[in-house]
Amino acid sequence: MPEQLLNSQYEKPNYILSQQKERAIVPKIITLIGLGVIFYLGVLLNVSLLDLNASEETSIQVVSLIILLVIIIIGIYLAKRHAQINHLFFKDRIVFEKNTIHYLDIINTSAKTDFIDRIFNTYNINLGNGFILRHIPEEIQIEDYLKQLIEYSKKQQAD
């Protein structure tokens, strides 16, 4: 295990930023259900075009529906689990899952919103290097805090 991850486990974060869980989960559920319906309609179409008797058609439809429901349940579970992960702010870096970005490596601190963010009153910040703070509630203004952390890190490096 890399040293940074070991340190992150034992070091207490200065700030913990939680994602808005509804924003992270609801769009994934809608997407999974929509894709599931399309997949199931495709199965129904293909089965109807095959020369099968009624019991074979029914068994194929039931099996494909069960597989589809299992996939949707697993997808919802994974989305819920991922939504519970917090962004951890340490004295020199931000950690999210196994991803880490040092304050000196942050390129951008401006917020971006998309259509779904406007519905849920959230925003995202692409910090650069593939590190994105996602599903931040609008009530939490993290941009100024990030700028202060970057300035502090620059001063620490200069000293």
The per-residue pLDDT for range 23-61, each reduced to its tens digit, is: 999 999 999 999 999 999 999 999 888 888 889 999 999
Pull the structure tokens for residue 149.
Answer: 């952390």
How far apart are alpha carbons 144 and 66 in whole angstroms? 49
- Sketch the domain layout of the chain as residue ranges: 1-19+87-159, 20-84
* pTM (two decimals): 0.78
Give the pLDDT score at 50.
87
For residue 41, give the DSSP letter. Answer: H
**Whole-number CA gyration radius for the chain:** 22
What tens digit of pLDDT does each residue of 86-136 get? 999 999 999 999 899 999 999 999 999 999 999 999 999 999 888 999 999
Task: Indicate whether 1 pLDDT > 50.
Answer: no
Task: Indicate whether 5 pLDDT > 80.
Answer: no
Task: Indicate whether 66 pLDDT > 70.
Answer: yes
Phi/psi region, residue 129 (left: phi>0; alpha: psi -120 to 50; beta: rest), is: left
Q: How many residues does the chain have?
A: 159
